[in-house]
Structure 1
Amino acid sequence: MKNNIIPASLAITSMRDSGYKTAAHAIAELIDNSIQATATNVQLLCIDKSKQGGLRAVKHVDQVAIFDDGKGMAKHVLQQALQFGGGLHREDSSGIGKFGMGLPSATISQCRRLDVYSWQNGICHYTYLDVNEIEAGNLENVPEPIEKPVPEVWREAIGEDYNPEHGTIAIWSDLDRISWKTSKSLYIHSEKLIGRMYRYFINDNRVKIRFKSFTNEISLTRTDNKLFKANDPLFLMKNTVLPDLPGNYINETFFEPFGEEQVIHVESSSGLRGVVKIKYSRVQRSIHQELQRVASVAVGSTKWGKIAAENQGVSIVRSGRELKVTEIFSSVSEPRERWFGVEVSFSPELDELFGVTFDKQDVVNFERIDLKVEAENEGYDSENSKEYSEFVDIFEREKSDRYWIYFIGKEIQANLKDLKSYVKTLAESKPQNNNPDEQPTLSKAEHTAKKIAEKRIAEKRPTNSDRKFHDPETPAKEKIDKIKETLSREGVDVVEAETVARTLVTSDCNVKFMEQPLKGNILFDVAREAGTIIVLLNSNHEFYQFYDSVDDDKKELLKLVLIAWAQVEDNSSETERSDMEDIRSRWGKEVKKYLFELNN
């Protein structure tokens, strides 16, 4: 009888909680293996099946696979690859793999069954892991690989990228822990993350990463086929997930390099030498001005501004593969910081210095270091100038790992000071209008609202807001200032707030539809000032993704529906209005639930 210190059944349960943030992060571990195997084509394959859910059949993702056309694995290598810590990438310090935990660890964090087929010189070997068998005590070792062909259904799914001479496919099934229920949802939540992680490989055409989804009821039917695009947080690459820039800027990069790339030669305390590179970028002023000119919302609320916000922070890149984006040097509460980018890249020799975790999701040693706090931690009195100077002298002379982290952080902070000064001037960079008579135009929905208001007034049944807005005793400047102040309180950029206020007053229209990030579950809000009715669609709400995807005519129809609600709300008594505001809040929460179920 064996007396294992940690029984396999207990260990596997613990290891399943290995801490992968999402299914996309776990999938990235398998993509790492593919790139390490010199693959030029990688596919994320999903097969959906239907199951009965109440009155209708509901699709759910049944199997997920990663295929690559890399060099494949020999029989003994395949067996080792399924052992925890057994991967041979640990012997290659220059690659994006290394820790030998990726395939089994990432797999069991998401599912209970892994089947792997790998082939070289046309000979395919197969083995598997099964959590159920391990928990029951029926599987203690990785089964010895056997010769077995790739199932026909998977060869069909792979299609033209299938090379009978070499390749690998890892298949997940019994997906009990995957957080997204459909292949569509898996892609939506993975697209930008995987595009950002592997942006250099994608941009340099070293590898193509493709997403395919299928249904498999009676036969295999393909439902989606897309290439992942690079997602560059520095916005210096072209042909990325970023939508085309407007006008003459369509072939330009969104940002421009800021200064020269910094190259720091580091020698760690263990004697290993490596290189750290720091790159900076900032939005091109002329492009920011163009977006101000053409957008009907604040630049930060445009599709370009939203992607910039999603990528805000310092990108940490190891061997060309992003590990994480950290916010330790930035503030998400300062939206203008989306307009610059910072990237720190390093070679794998410096893994220990940066504190790279085995799942390649974090760099635990990378932090902002305060030298005074550091001195106190080492037993020095930081308020005593002599003691503090002595500590600094030793710290800089000995060049410990902590010194290098401090030095890198100091370089970043010095450049951030200039970048922050630059972006603060962007709001002041309002483009000049050479035609003083030219004013921003109203949308179709706003024109319709204006016509309806004019008809009410002509029929001598104006609302209180109509009377207030058209009051000849109130100067135009006073109206503009009041509307501008109200919009600013709602979080609208000061330049846009003034533009909107002037547009309403000069066009004699008291209704405005805007897209604005709002707090909570509310789908839309209604603001009132000086007789105006301003409908604010919450760009943080799940509904906004649907709204943003439809064509302009459908957008105008949706605008009209919400403007009509706002008009009824505005023309109601105080009690009725309070009730309608409460209904709006509860309705927004309910819509959020329904859309979550629809998309998952």
Structure 2
Amino acid sequence: MEGSMTSKYSIVTSDLTVKALQDSGYKSTAHAIAELIDNGIEARAELVELFVVESIDRPSQRARHRVEKIAVLDNGSGMDPETLRQSLRFGAGTRQHRKGIGRFGVGLPNSSISQCDRVDVWSWTNGPDNALHTYLDLAELRRGLEEVPEPKLDGLPDEWQALTEGLGPTGTLVQWTQLERVQWRGAEATLANTENLIGRIYRRKITQGTRIKLVPVRGWAELPGVRDTRPNDPLYLTAPSSTPAPFDTKPMFRPVGGGNTGEIGVQRFMVESVDGKEYPVLVRSSISSDAARRHDIEGEEWPDDVSPSLKPGDTPWGKHAAKNLGISLIRADRELDLDTGWTNSYNPVERWWGVEIDFPPALDEVFGVTNNKQSATIFSALAHFNWREEAAGLSWEEFREALREEGDARLPLIEIVYHIREKLLGRLRADLEDQTRGTGTSRKRHEQVENKAEEAVKRRRAETKPSLTDTLAEQVSPEVSQQQQLESLVETHKYSPADAQRIIEETISQGKHTRLLTSRNPDSPAFFNVEFIPGLLQVALNMDHPVYSDLIAVLDKDFDGVSREELIDRLVGAASAFKLLLLSWARFEDEQPERPRARAKQMRQDWGRIASEFLGADDEDDEDE
């Protein structure tokens, strides 16, 4: 009677325990498989094989073959009976040290039970025929199983021995069956979706020589598509890699930034851990090469089967980069997470930069590493950290001291976050914006404005006396004008000679007398600058002025893939910026002495009259028709 009462009133039922184990927080089947690969790599395996086995039968003629087994086999060191049994205990694994990629000993049982109802493990240290075998079965757990079954001598099944390439005197096989929660149906779909992730997670290990082989199987026969996983580097500095041609054999990005390590694009920070010691954290950064985003780079033209009219993001390599968006967190040479919280997913340019943070396991508590090695919660929570809002008027140094006095858990990472948010990402985005100045969507929109302005210029030429640029054009040859344009574009506005020449040729061929372009001029208080070149009125928008970022850039950005909500936010923000621009002019007049104020008023009225002609150019053309 006493025993039944204990069972009746137990705090946690076996069913609830099983449900909690199943819901252990793995983001996908691929992430769960990665835990099994971890075990092989920790066991110093040279080859880890991932088998996805389809059933021979299928429910109907049109239905696809269903996956019935997933297995990972490695030729690592294998396990003795005690280690094997411990490996299937929740929270009692054998690799809880802080030097390797493991953490807390939860990987094998948690990842397995999150995907299947039964996991079997064979491990051998004296040949596969002498393997030891044990298992976990959820049905038995629900019936009250309290101990991992004692490992028994049970040779590795012949079917697996026939399939594997790297069978050796030591190794381990983990087999999942009763696959109730696997995301994908067929073998190839499962491998394809897993390949991208594990190629990224283990990119360093693969580059260092570890092979991760992918094997689709039906029944016990290999299917076409057996292959080794290629590295997938979100910084795109690794070659060869899984990036589509031509960037499968050469890096698609280049390191960027001075750094403090003697290596381009690498910044080192020393971070204090909970043990009171300091450990190095490396921040690496890269941006796209010109050839990845432009088809006209001499000697690096796009492949013949890729149209030069495609937007860079629509190329095969651009689509590949879109799947690697975010900051990559590397722990013990294994990717922990690709954190997208630091990116603007609506901006297609975000795919063209890469940032990697490399830290040791000794800093797990500082970064907030989770038990299943899928995220760093403390670091991720800082993605939208705004120190100025929290500082409430304190200087940066005062704010850091306040955090230190309060014992704030974020303090060790504040310097890194400040570097990334305040310095690094802004520079990367600015460099990428400069990379395609004079090309793409923004250039086309400039051309539309230039065309409309040209109509207004033609009318004013007929109605007013010659302008300064008209007069200068009468005094010099067209060749002199073109030389002045080239010097302006290359020397003042930092366009490449090839881009500058192309822009000049376009202006001449279209018979234009106005040109709108973008330029960087951080030392100028003006949000645009005017140049009077013989026969050409050139206006350079200052990309370093808030008017550009708050008004022009938000409207010139590509609209593809942008939600209705963001478009509304852009329009509202641009309208506010324009109104503030008018109010700033009003304040300018307000601050002038009486006579300059009258002159400013006259200038405003004259500019308004000319603006009405430029903005109304299309309307007047319509009336003529």
* Interval of TM-score (by shorter of Structure 1 and Structure 2): 0.5 to 0.7
1:5-84 aligned within 5 A: 5-56=11-62, 58-84=64-90
Which of 247, 251, 254 is the equivalent residue of 1:253?
Answer: 251
Pair 1:400–1:434, CA change in 2 (3 A)? closer
Which of 285, 294, 299 is equivalent to 1:289?
294
**Aligned mates of 2:75, 2:211 — CA distance in 1:** 11
Structure 1 residue 17: deviation in Å?
A: 0.8
Tell me the secondary structure at the aligned position of residue 265 of structure 1. strand
Q: Which residue of 2 aligns with 1:309?
A: 322
AA partner of residue 416 (structure 2): I
State the 1:393 CA deviation: 2.9
Amino acid at match of 1:208: R
Output the amino acid matched with 1:277.
L
Structure-1 residue corresponding to 2:387: 371
Counterpart contact for 2:118–2:176, Cα < 8 Å: yes
Residue 191 of structure 1 corresponds to which residue in structure 2?
Answer: 195
1:161 aligns with 2:161: no
Q: TM-score, normalised by structure 2?
A: 0.64
Alignment correspondent of 2:214: 211
Is residue 135 of structure 1 aligned with residue 181 of structure 2? no
CA RMSD of aligned residues (A): 2.8
Q: Percent identity?
A: 34
Paired residue secondary structure (1:38): coil
Give distance in 1, aligned partners of 2:201 and 2:280: 20
- Post-superposition Cα deviations, 1:502-547, rounded to whole Å, max 9, x if no partner, equal xxxxxxxxxxxxxx97689xxxxxxxxxxxxxxxxxxxxxxxxxxx
Larger Rg: 2
Conservation of the 8 A alpha-carbon contact between 2:240 and 2:249 = no
Would the aligned equivalents of 1:45 and 1:157 in 2 still touch at CA under 8 Å? no
> Structure 1 counterpart of 2:387, which letter?
L
8 A contact 1:197–1:321 mirrored in 2? yes
The CA distance in 2 between the partners of 1:320 and 1:258, in whole Å, is 21
Structure 2 CA distance for aligned equivalents of residues 229 and 517 of structure 1: 31
After superposition, where does 1:383-532 map in structure 2 within 5 Å? 383=393, 391-395=399-403, 401-413=409-421, 414-428=423-437, 430=439, 432=498
1:230 corresponds in structure 2 to 231
Q: Deviations over 1:82-122 (max 9, x none)?
A: 000111111x2100012101000000100001010000123
Residues 282, 242 of structure 1: CA spacing in aligned structure 2 closer, same or farther, 3 A cutoff? same
1:224-247 superposed Cα distances (whole Å, 9 cap, x missing partner): 31111000000000011112227x
| Alpha-carbon distance in 2 for matches of 1:317, 1:307 | 20
Aligned to 2:123: 118
Using the TM superposition, name which of 196-205 and 399-408 deviates more.
399-408
Distance 1:140 1:435, change over 3 A: same
Return 5+ residue gaps in structure 2 as ranges. 260-265, 303-307, 440-495, 512-558, 564-625
- CA distance in 2 between counterparts of 1:245 and 1:224 reads 22
Q: Is the 8 A contact 1:10 1:135 kept in 2?
A: no
What is the deviation of 1:275?
1.8
Aligned residue type for 2:27: K
Query: Mean Cα displacement is larger for which, 69-78 or 411-420?
Result: 411-420
CA–CA separation in structure 2 for the residues paired with 1:52 and 1:253? 43
Say which SS state the counterpart of residue 280 (structure 1) adopts: strand
Q: Kindly tell me: are residues 390 and 83 of structure 1, through their superposed partners in 2, closer, same or farther at Cα, counting changes over 3 Å?
A: same
Deviation at 1:416, TM superposition (A): 1.4
3-state SS, counterpart of residue 426 of structure 2: helix
Q: Which residue of 1 aligns with 2:365?
A: 352
Question: Partners in 1 of 2:419 and 2:562 — Cα distance?
Answer: 35
AA partner of residue 414 (structure 2): Y
> Does the 8 A contact of 1:200 with 1:230 survive in 2?
yes
Residue 172 of structure 1 aligns to a residue in which SS?
strand
Number of residue pairs the alignment of both structures matches: 427
Query: Distance between the aligned counterparts of 1:324 and 1:251, measured in 2?
Result: 25
How far 1:433 moved relative to its partner? 8.6
TM-score by length of 1: 0.67
Secondary structure at the residue paired with 2:342? coil
Of 409-418 and 220-229, more deviation after overlay is shown by 220-229
1:29/1:251 Cα in 2 relative to 1: closer, same or farther (>3 Å)? closer
Q: What letter is aligned with 1:201?
A: K
Secondary structure (helix, strand or coil) at the match of 2:419 reads helix
Structure 2 vs 1, CA of residues 52 and 394 (structure 1 numbering), >3 Å: closer, same or farther?
closer
Are 2:326 and 2:339, in contact at CA under 8 Å, matched by a contact in 1? yes
Change in Cα spacing, 1:54 to 1:253, as seen in structure 2 (3 Å) is: closer
Partner of 2:333: 320
Question: Aligned equivalents of 1:222 and 1:251: distance in 2?
Answer: 27
